[in-house]
Structure 1
Amino acid sequence: MEFVPATSRLLAANRAAAAFYAAQLRQVPAARRYLRERGIEAAAGSWWQPGFAPATWTAVLDRLTGLGFTPEELLAAGLVRRSRTGRLIDYLRQRVVFPIHDQRGNVIGFTGRDLSGRTDAPKYLNTPTTTIYHKGEALFGLSLQLAHRRRRDRRPIRVFVVEGAADAIAVHRMVHDHAPEQLLPVALCGIVLTEHHLRLLRKAIGPTASLSLLLDGDDAGRDAFERWLPLLRTWAGPVDIATLPDGTDPAELLVRHGPEQALRIVLGARRPAQLARLDRILDRLDLGALDLSEPETRVRVWRAITPCFRDDPTRGADLADLAGSRLGLPLGDVMTGVVNEIA
């Protein structure tokens, strides 16, 4: 029968590993430099508790077995793995690590950013699936920020979903008490947005909070939200997309512009989801090669853009204005074409 450690032992092992990693960070200049270059050096020693997984093969294994944890418990916690030779080695090595917490504040796993520079090493690596950690059901930073926010703060909440732990901390550093909303940045843990994530947010902050996807200014970031749109339509509150300038991410904005200006850029980049979707559709149509005087071409365009109007009818005028501007057509022509398609 397979050995299954008690949940309490897995949580204790992760808690001990987080403390070990945090202590290692103080001894590694390259790891502290990474945090500084991302604008989040202040996170060291804070409740974010970033750390460093040493490059040696068995640093966390040796430390935690010395504290009384068994190899089987560390395997079950995802802190170690078996090598091809069958030897136990640390799962995370030579990485800046950020603890991932459950809604009770327990450390359930880690996300690690490679500092080795090896071409065969993934840039980011997350704890494997365990009985206490499922990356499709975890959001980095959510429980920490809810635990540390002021209870009497009655401002509405806006959740920013970002792509990585460093970006979540960077956005948190941009936030100030005078913002009209409580901004709550959370990061996905190496996976796409899932219904489990939205369910977690509904339970933690309510179903009608504003939701913003903050996407990196690269092709992957620009394409990601389109895959998530069917899921995002299940969110009851307002949803928008913030696509950052080409080649930038939140941490880079923080370093380059400072907290206040970086926050203005982030907030200014937000657009309603269907407007951003319409822009992407029009980009793909290659408008410069289209002859819109041909009826068949216009029909093809109306068919391509109509889903945006159908999915957000309250923004019909804004969508038509954007489409008309990009197509060089009168607003009435756009509305007529779309209405005919919907009918």
Structure 2
Amino acid sequence: MIDKATIDRIFAAANIVEVVGDFVTLKKKGINYQACCPFHNEKTPSFVVSPSKGLFKCFGCGKGGNAVTFVMEHENMTYPEALKYVARKYGIEVAEREQTPEEVRRNDDRESMMVVSSYAADYFVRTLHDTPEGQSIGIGYFRERGFSDATIRKFGLGYCPDGGDTFTRQALADGYKEEFLVGTGLTIKRETGGYYDRFCGRVMFPIHGISGRVTAFGGRTMRTDKKVAKYLNSPESEIYHKSDVLYGIYFAKRAITQQDCCILVEGYTDVISMHQSGIENVVASSGTSLTDGQIRLIGRFTRNVTVIYDGDSAGIKASLRGIDMILKDGLNVRVVLLPDGDDPDSFARKHNATELRDFILSHEEDFISFKTRLLLAEAAGDPLRKAALIADIVQSISVIPDAITRSVYTRECSRQMEIDEQILLREIALRRVEHTAGNEAKEFIRNQEIIRRRTENQPAAIAQVEAGSSIEELENELIKYLLKYGEHDFEYVEGKEVVELNVAEVIINDLDQNGIVMKNAVLHKIYEEYKTLRQSGEEIGMNHFINHPDPEVSNAVVNLLTYDDNYMVSKLWKKFDIVVESEQERLPVAVPRAVILYKSKVIDDIIAGLRAKLADQSLPEEEQATLTHQISVLNQERTLISKKLSRLIV
């Protein structure tokens, strides 16, 4: 358990722009930062980071919180794990008491598998450097590939001994459970009994997640037997989904952001050799076909992708489908073809960073030029094959979501293929009607759903509450006033008398005197905690709730503070040069009005419940009379409330 003092230090040190910036490419916009949301697929940025408030908020999917809750959500970590992650980033030592056996048992399978993977990574590194077998075979192979000691250490390269079950026996002896060794794919359990190391006799390439934790491995055999797979990857598991992973992304993300470009290659050694040569904005799809998940991962850091193909690769045409997928996601694609006989690994070992960079810049082509040149040679003057090539390129252009980009590529295709631009435009339009009309309809529905969720889930903070507002809307409004203006005083005019009131006192006194308990559990928790802090004399700041250890509390508070009605209407008022009171200036009317409306809604709710009971004809007459009297009293109270509301000038 992490003590409160340490948690306070972590939150004090955490710069939300730096923390979020490790995972998402942020662009400054005014006093805030903006990006495409990492939690849902979007092309127009609606994800905002506020350094002054220390919070993030997506106005598309609704997710929000602080630096720690961002890491929790993004990396699927628990609260303590996320705290430790942020602490490590800022060099804060986290002292914890030893976990009890019960707490250890409560660790979920996913975390246990992460721990096993970390252990395995360390074991393979030790075996590589500290055993004769690892040094002669593993180090020997890496030296042959031209990897320096620094590079081997940087990427955590290792070696799994060729002893059948050497690794598994050691892991079990060190206390790691069989179920997690098998679950991560590190160990294969034989049907006849016993174990077998999946990566037995292979040099090891650990696969890091975006936060740097090892989630899986790739292993290359050192045997010459052609029946043995050259490369072997970890199987799919709770912690590893290969379609969402890019090899090297942890080491490349900062360089990708800085250079606003991601270089995409095929294999582990391609990435490592290019890093060693000084090109660090490079990742690999690890030999698998490019997936939507991998493209979205790139899109978090840049909109520009450069794909490098081997000079003699026979699979270039097959991999062109990946380019279409990148285009469809709205990214910009350029292609580099290496000289015959070279791949990124061998080419990088022959050149330094400057030479590599110059070669890429001078040889990269847009995909139209590349695809045309590649396929036109096969057409060899055959009109039918040329028509098929044009249709292929038209299909690629048609998936591009941006109309301007489509137009530019259409003009280029027209020039290179010597075909009328209007014909191409008609063909592209037809393809988009055939293939994207359904998607656009779905996008429209999704947008409407987002709007509906905003108006349903956040109405109290978007617009000032009205008489028809629900109980939950009013509870949202009251909590917002407590958090933002709880300690503010205002003058309230009642008849001829002017009374000075405090926002928190008006809300708390009225609710407590009437014995009203908020129906929304999270809002009730915030309300009770606010009261406790106030009674203890502690200073109550919004950061206390923004940085709350309960993610539900943090998210609810961020929602309330970010959906500000002033923010939503300010552009409209400015357009027509209309002066509107600020939210703070409206407090003398808004706070009493919200309290009265809330009380009215609670009474309506109680009356409805009593009437439902009264409808039961089997009730004794005495109980029916009691219920009738209670309803009458409540109706009188409701009448008084209506009179109070009519005196409030909005």
TM range, smaller chain:
0.7 to 0.9
Which residue pairs with 1:329 in the alignment? Answer: none
* Partner Cα separation in structure 2 for residue 315 and residue 173 of structure 1: 35
Residues 368 and 412 of structure 2 are in contact (CA less than 8 Å); yes or no, is this contact kept in structure 1?
no
CA distance in 2, matches of 1:341, 1:145: 39
Separation of aligned partners in 2, 1:104 and 1:118: 37
Instruction: Return the alpha-carbon distance in structure 2 between the equivalents of residues 246 and 85 of structure 1.
Output: 49
What is the aligned counterpart of 2:147 among 29, 34, 40? 40
For 2:204, what is the secondary structure of its paired residue? strand
Q: CA shift at 1:200, angstroms?
A: 1.9
Paired residues, number: 307
The offset of 1:319, in angstroms, is 3.9
Instruction: Tell me, yes or no, if structure 1 residue 282 matches structure 2 residue 282.
Output: no
Q: Does 1:81 align with 2:211?
A: no
Which of 294, 301, 304 in structure 2 is aligned with 1:197? 294
State how far apart, in whole Å, the 2-side matches of 1:247 and 1:322 are: 28
Deviation at 1:130, TM superposition (A): 0.9
Give the match for residue 326 of structure 2: 232
Distance, in Å, in 2 between the alignment partners of 1:91 and 1:53 is: 9
Tell me what 1:55 maps to. 162
Question: Partner amino acid for 1:25?
Answer: L
Distance 1:269 1:90 in 2: 44
Runs of 4+ in 1 over 6 A off after TM superposition: none
Q: SS of the counterpart of 2:247?
A: coil
- Does residue 244 of structure 2 align to residue 137 of structure 1? yes
Higher mean displacement: 78-87 or 272-281: 78-87
Deviations 1:114-142 (A, max 9, x none): 21122111111100111111111111111
Supply the distance in 2 between the matched residues of 1:48 and 1:169 (Cα, whole angstroms).
8
Q: Secondary structure at the match of 2:153?
A: coil
> What secondary structure is seen at the aligned counterpart in 2 of 1:46?
helix
C-alpha separation in 1, matches of 2:377 and 2:265: 24
Counterparts of 1:309-324 in structure 2, within 5 Å, are 311=397, 312-316=406-410, 318-320=412-414, 322-323=416-417
Which amino acid is 1:219 matched to?
S
d(CA) in 1 for partners of 2:198, 2:124: 13
Q: Aligned to 2:246, what secondary structure does the other structure show?
A: coil
Q: CA deviation at 1:28?
A: 2.3
Q: 1:102 offset after TM fit, Å? A: 1.5
What is the CA distance between 1:91 and its match in structure 2?
0.7
1:304 counterpart residue number: 389
- Provide closer, same or farther for how the CA distance between residues 154 and 76 of structure 1 changes in structure 2, counting only shifts above 3 A: closer
Provide the C-alpha distance between the structure 1 equivalents of 2:143 and 2:329, rounded to a whole number of angstroms: 36
Decide whether the 8 Å contact of 1:215 with 1:244 is kept in 2. Answer: yes
- What is the CA–CA distance in structure 2 between the aligned matches of 1:212 and 1:168, rounded to whole Å? 14
TM-score (norm 1): 0.80
Find the counterpart in structure 2 of residue 159 from structure 1.
262
Q: Which runs of 5+ in 1 are unaligned?
A: 177-182, 291-296, 324-333
In structure 2, relative to structure 1, the CA distance for the partners of 1:276 and 1:256 (3 Å cut) is same
| Residue of 297, 306, 309 corresponding to 1:215 | 309
> Secondary structure of the equivalent of 1:98?
strand
- Of 109, 118, 124, 1:6 maps to 109
Structure showing greater radius of gyration is 2
CA contact (8 A) 2:114 2:214 kept: yes
> Which residue in 1 is equivalent to 2:272?
169
Partners of 1:302 and 1:191 lie apart in 2 by: 31
Q: Which residue in the other structure is 2:468 paired with?
A: none
Q: Which deviations, in whole Å up to 9, do the C-alpha atoms of 1:172-229 show, x marking residues without a partner?
A: 22336xxxxxx511111342110011122223x1xx5311112222334422431213
User: For residue 21 of structure 1, what is the aligned residue in structure 2?
Assistant: 124
Aligned-residue offset at 1:307: 4.5
Cα offset, 1:154, TM superposition? 7.5
Q: Deviations over 1:31-88 (max 9, x none)?
A: 2233233332345553311111111111210221122102221001111113463431
Give the superposition deviation at 1:10: 0.6
CA–CA separation in structure 2 for the residues paired with 1:43 and 1:95? 21
Identify unmatched segments of 5+ residues in structure 2: 1-106, 398-405, 427-650
Matching residue's letter, 1:47: K
Partner-residue secondary structure (3-state), 2:203: strand
| Residue pair 1:94, 1:114 contacting (<8 A) in 2 also | yes
Q: Percent identity?
A: 24
1:335 aligns with 2:419: yes
Tell me the amino acid that sits aligned with residue 62 of structure 1: R
3-state SS of paired residue (2:271): helix
Q: How far, CA to CA, are the matches of 2:149 and 2:407 in structure 1?
A: 44
Name 1:128's counterpart in structure 2.
Answer: 235
Q: Aligned to 2:284, which of 180, 183, 187?
A: 187
From the superposition, tell whether residues 260 and 286 of structure 1 become closer, same or farther in structure 2 (CA, over 3 Å). same
Residue of structure 2 in register with 1:270 after alignment: 364
- Alpha-carbon spacing, 1:44–1:188, altered in 2? closer, same or farther (3 Å): same
- Offset, 1:267: 3.8
Determine which of 213, 222, 232 is the counterpart of 1:115: 222
Q: Do the aligned partners of 1:98 and 1:110 also contact (CA within 8 Å) in 2?
A: yes
- Secondary structure at the residue paired with 1:200? helix
Q: Residues 279 and 109 (structure 1 numbering): CA distance in 2 closer, same or farther, change over 3 Å?
A: same
| Cα distance in 1, alignment partners of residues 150 and 260 from structure 2 | 23
In 2: Cα distance, 1:74 partner to 1:218 partner: 40
Residue type of the partner of 1:335? I
Query: What RMSD over aligned residues (CA atoms) do the two structures have, in Å?
Result: 2.6
Q: 1:242 to 1:281 in 2, by over 3 A?
A: same
More helix as a share of residues:
2
Distance across 1 between alignment mates of 2:228 and 2:385: 45
Structure 1 residues 73, 340: CA separation in 2 closer, same or farther (over 3 Å shift)?
Answer: closer
Could you say if the C-alpha distance between residues 40 and 133 of structure 1 is closer, same or farther in structure 2, counting changes exceeding 3 Å? same
**For residue 92 of structure 1, what is the aligned residue in structure 2?**
199
